[in-house]
Each structure stands twice: as structure tokens, then as C-alpha cells.
Amino acid sequence: MESTAQKSFIEYSPESHFPIQNIPFGVFYPKLDHTQRPRCGTRIGDFVVDLDYFEQKGFFDGPLFSELRKSGKECVFGQKTLNRFMKLGKKYWVEARTTIQKLLSSDSSLKNDMETRNFAFYHYKDVVMCVPAQIGDYTDFYSSKNHAYNVGCILRGKDNALQPNWVHVPIGYHGRASSVVVSGYEMPRPRGQIKLPDKENPIFSETKKLDFELEMGAFIGGELNTLGHPIKCCDAEDYIFGYVILNDWSARDIQAWEYVPLGPFNAKNFATVISPWIVTIQALEEFRVPLGKQDPAPLQYLYDPNLSSFDINLEVSIATEKTEKPEVICTSNFKHLYWSVAQQLTHHAVTGCNMNAGDLLGTGII
């Protein structure tokens, strides 16, 4: 990611996913903090930076945050979630990120401020990462044409693989927000009803067909629409706070028995795992690419000539007790999605469904 001349006084490997050009947002607490008080942070190289400490020291001195301080509403990063920061909107997100980059730059006064460096910087191995937001609602979409076609071939055969509505409407379902967890969660194997092909009646059993899904997730923020008012497609990206990697775990044998007629339920509600750091739209700008061709053209409410995607390489590795090291079993790229996240959000709200800061949208398997 480090392709510009901007440098930090924090040293890190050129291969690091957390250069000064990134500046993601997350929530953590230090392992040695007996209170286990979560607070907001960012990461650079191998270090997690306490943004609550930065805020208390008055380091966020841009015009927008200065106004917040004057109004007595400056406690943004001392919260146990990012929701308050997310709700402030895009202008605040950009100002905060710009300020942090300035504070961490090679010519920053913090370079020799040992008090701040001792109290605000933690090695990533010395912190516990938390779910970054209070997720009010989680919706998972089905936006990869390749995936939809492949699943359709399995269920209906090649002649009827892609349902007629799929190229006209972003398909999604409402997931379970309470079971969204961050990477590292040790998941018990789920149990449920399973219908075996050679049995007349279902049995109750542990799933034998636990599946992963390589997805991205988008966190929503800003002063969003009120109930009864849709979001315009041309405005939708302004409400996307940033992206995480998402794994929508699926118990396929439970799903095969329960999904008719209403779709996913217990087969997917036991755990959805996300990466702990939210990468902002601003950090991804240099990887922006045109959205792939949509044929037929979407209805007018889903159309915007400026719709785009991002060139983000994705990879899945699996490690077991029998493998010496993780083995790569899957590669893909975010740009392969048929429906953009902006279109997903637009369609979600087109009925007047009110979105809230901290809502999470999954892309579906990429």
C-alpha cells in the first residue's frame, strides 16, 4: 500500500499492511489493563495507537474537531465502539485521518515526545481487539455473479442456474448482528436439524458440512436517512465508513433442510467473523477501478455513471493439525463483484428502510 512519499517515524516492513497510507480504525484494550476498558485506536506497523489518549491531549486540532471540543462533545475516541465517530460523517472521518497521518509522520513533534510514545503506543501483541462497532443491523448480500451461477448449477442445473431477478436486483438477507465477532474467536461446531438422504425424518446433529465464505463487509456511517426516505445511489458511497474482511460461516447441511421457503436461518446465525481493523474509503482511493459491466442496465434508482469498485486481492489459507503451514486454497479480488456496495446500500434503503451508523453490509461470497 505504501506507494507515496509520505513516511512515518514508526519503522515497519515494506510488506506491512499498516503503513501510514492506511490508518484504519478499530477498538482495543491493553492486555495489562485490568479494567479491560475498550477505546478507539488505529494501527501503524506493529503498533496500535490509542486515539483516546490523542484526543485527551488535544491533538485533534482541525476545525471540525475544534468545534466539537468547544461544544463539549469532543469525547469521540474514548468510547467503547466507533459508532459516535462513524455517525459524525465523511468530513470528520477525513479530518481525523489527515490529523493522525500528520501526527505519525516523520517530521512530527511526537517523534521525540517520549511521554506520548510510552502511553499511547502498544505493540499489537499486547492488546485485545474488540468488535469495532455496536452493530444494530447486519445484512448479507449475494453480489458475485460467479458464485450465484455456481450455486444455481448445484441446486437447479446449468439451464436454470441464475434466477431471472439476480441481474436486476441486489439480493440479500438479514443476518444476526449479535453473533458478529472479530478474528480469533474459537467457534464451537454448531448443531441443528439435518436431513440425511437415506432417512425419512431429520436428525439432530453437529454439522458435518461447515463452510466458509470469502467476503468483504462495509460499515455504514454518517447522518443517514430517516424512516421513509431512501438514499440516492449517487450519495451512497459517502455513507460507507470503510471495509473489513468477512467470513459468513455456513452449516450447509443445516441450510439444505431449513432454507425452503424463507432462506438462511440457523445455518448462518451462529457466527460471522470480521477482521478487527476497518480500512477507510480514503485509504483505498488509489486502488479504485471501474465497476464491471452490468447487463442489462440496472433500473434508474440503481444507476450512477460514477459507480466503481476496488482492486483488492483476497486470499484464503487453511491450517490444520496435520499441515506444517497454512495452505492457500482460494484467491479472488473485490473488483469481481457484480453489484457495488453503493448499489447494495441504495437498494437496502429504497423502500425507506432507515439505516444507522454501525450497520454492517456483507458482500456475499466474492
CA–CA distance, 364 with 366 (Å, rounded to integer):
6
**Rounded CA separation 85/333 (Å):** 29
Alpha carbons 357 and 218: distance in angstroms, whole number: 11
* CA nearest neighbour of 283 among 225, 240, 236, 340: 240
Residues 6+ apart with CB under 8 A from 43: 18, 22, 24, 26, 49, 124, 277
Distance of alpha carbon 100 from alpha carbon 76, whole angstroms: 14
Cα separation of 37 and 248, whole Å?
A: 28
Q: Which residues are catalytic?
A: 147
Cα distance between residue 32 and residue 348, in whole Å: 42
Surface-to-core class of residue 114, CB atoms within 10 Å of its CB (0-12 exposed, 13-18 middle, 19+ buried) = exposed
CA-nearest of 239, 247, 261, 84 to 179 is 247
Max CA separation in the chain (angstroms): 73
- CA-CA distance, 197 to 288, in Å (whole number)? 47
Q: Alpha-carbon distance 144 to 141, whole Å?
A: 9
